[in-house]
């Protein structure tokens, strides 16, 4: 499984449209502090350009396979180890690389030199 960041504290998320409205007012000449008080947002959010991020970017960029494909791979590793055909690290990475190329995944696999899936973690 790829790494996914877990936040340590719970900060309230400010809607994108409110931040954009606040940024518009600041660009018109209103002070940052008064705008922050009016929209009940932190001044740093407005000062740093709002930190407006596209919601669609909330995905894990390092993830190559879908959950189903990962389950198939892990299932294969478990059954092969039960049949006493366990694979070494290198062989497992080669197998995953071959699987990715076989299903024609548009991937970020950088192990093109030795046909290996890159180390994860």
* pTM as predicted: 0.43
pLDDT (0 to 100) of residue 121? 41
Residue that the structure tokens 């049949």 belong to: 83
Residue 46: which residues within 8 A CB-CB, separation 6 or more?
Answer: 19, 22, 23, 26, 32, 35, 36
As given in the structure block, the two tokens for residue 82 are 């039960």
pLDDT (0 to 100) of residue 117? 60
Per-run averaged pLDDT (10 residues), the chain, 121 residues: 80 84 88 92 79 53 80 92 86 86 71 57 41
Residue that the structure tokens 């991937």 belong to: 107
pLDDT (0 to 100) of residue 75? 93
- 118 half-sphere exposure, CB direction, 13 A CA radius: 12
């Amino acid at each position: 499984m790829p790494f996914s960041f877990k936040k340590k504290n719970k900060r309230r998320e400010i809607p994108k449209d409110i931040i954009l409205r606040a940024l518009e007012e600041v660009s018109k000449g209103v002070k940052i502090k008064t705008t922050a008080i009016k929209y009940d947002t932190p001044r740093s959010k407005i000062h740093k350009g709002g930190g407006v991020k596209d919601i669609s970017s909330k995905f894990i960029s390092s993830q190559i396979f879908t959950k189903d494909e990962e389950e198939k791979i892990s299932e294969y590793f478990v059954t092969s180890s039960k049949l006493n055909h366990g694979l070494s690290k290198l062989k497992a990475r080669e197998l995953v690389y071959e699987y990715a190329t076989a299903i024609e995944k548009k991937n970020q696999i950088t192990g093109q030199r030795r046909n290996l899936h890159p180390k994860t973690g």
